[in-house]
Amino acid sequence: MDIKLEAIGHSYDGVRVMRDITLDIPDGRIVCIVGPSGCGKSTLLRFIGGLERPMEGRVVQMGEAPEGCLNPLTYIFQDFALLPWRSVAGNISLVLEDHGIKGAKAKAIIDDVLARTKLSDFAQALPKQLSGGMKQRVAIARALAVNPAVMLMDEPLSALDSQTRELLMDDLVSLWSRQPFTAVYVTHNLNEAVRLGHKIVVLSRRPGQIREVVEIDKPLDQRQFGDADLDEKQKYLWQLMREEARAADAELLNV
């Protein structure tokens, strides 16, 4: 299932935050969206997932979601969004219950996704007992449980320390290598973008517009921490963003 964004534009209370964004999200690829803070990345992701309506343009889904897909467009949030009163297993069962999946069938799915995210030993733990990295792995497990066609990730690693971030990036890469998923991955971290993105979309500062789309052909599982060619791409992206980020930073001051 592909997603197409057609000329999306939006304003909040008369302030233009986004203009003419046209973008293809091809099946089985990870599209990273980078841009200075406040350029509308989260807003764009909310449009893609149908949590909010853009004023101009539209988001189109090409083709049907594959069989067995419970929630085609599934989010992973920066702050995990786990229910603190439910255990790890309970948080995953939450998204299955509404589809009438209960009992043994639910348990099979929960066991499977917990195994894939290496959380099998923590099924009964409460979120408050988990570290940040584990919480985000629970959120990833929850997303996997509904068998999404497209994963929408809004800075999923930004709340974590850099070591945990490295580990989780490896986890995401191995998850993708085993079974390629489609993803839109919003980040302000260029290193994450070059490690995980097949396609990196650079947005300008507010009003967000596409400045450039950078493609990286190297397979995900061959990308390593500190690869020279990736560093080169990252430097190039930083050059694109530098002026925008500086201007955006100055703009926020005199809002």
Ligand X SMILES: Nc1ncnc2c1ncn2[C@@H]1O[C@H](COP(=O)(O)OP(=O)(O)O)[C@@H](O)[C@H]1O
Contacts of 167-171 with CB under 8 Å at 24 or more apart are 167/133, 168/133, 168/136, 168/137, 169/195, 169/196, 171/117, 171/118, 171/137, 171/140
Q: Compare residues 70 and 175 and give the one whose CB is closer to another protein.
A: 70
Instruction: Name which of another protein, ligand X, Mg ion, none residue 197 binds, using a CB cut-off of 5 to 8 Å depending on partner kind.
Output: none
Provide the token pair at 159.
């709340």
Q: How far is CA 27 from CA 162, 172, 181, 182, 252, in A?
A: 29, 17, 8, 5, 36
Q: Which of 11, 42, 158, 209 binds Mg ion (CB under 5 A)?
A: 42
Q: How far is CA 144 from CA 75, 117, 214, in A?
A: 10, 9, 28
Instruction: State in angstroms the smallest separation of the CB of 186 from ligand X.
Output: 7
Please choose, out of 60-68, 94-102, 117-125, 157-165, the segment that lies near another protein by the rule CB under 8 A: 94-102
Provide the token pair at 160.
């974590």
Q: Is the dihedral of CA 38, 40, 45, 49 positive or negative?
A: positive
Q: Compare residues 130 and 203 and give the one whose CB is closer to Mg ion.
A: 203
Instruction: Name which of Mg ion, ligand X, another protein, none residue 238 binds, using a CB cut-off of 5 to 8 Å depending on partner kind.
Output: none
**Number of chain residues interacting with ligand X (CB under 6 A):** 11
Instruction: Name which of ligand X, another protein, Mg ion, none residue 85 binds, using a CB cut-off of 5 to 8 Å depending on partner kind.
Output: another protein
Q: Compare residues 136 and 191 and give the one whose CB is closer to another protein.
A: 136
Q: Is the dihedral of CA 243, 249, 254, 255 positive or negative?
A: positive
CA distance linking residue 140 with residue 138, whole number of Å: 5
Instruction: Name which of another protein, Mg ion, ligand X, none residue 47 binds, using a CB cut-off of 5 to 8 Å depending on partner kind.
Output: none
Site for ligand X in 2-41 (CB under 6 A): 12, 17, 35, 37-41
Q: At what angle do helices 132-145 and 103-116 cross, to 10 degrees?
A: 130
DSSP label of 69: -
126 binds another protein (CB under 8 A): yes
> For binding to another protein (CB under 8 A), which residues are involved?
49, 51, 70-71, 73-75, 77, 79, 81, 83-86, 94-95, 97-98, 126-128, 142, 146, 152
Contact set with ligand X (CB under 6 A): 12, 17, 35, 37-43, 206
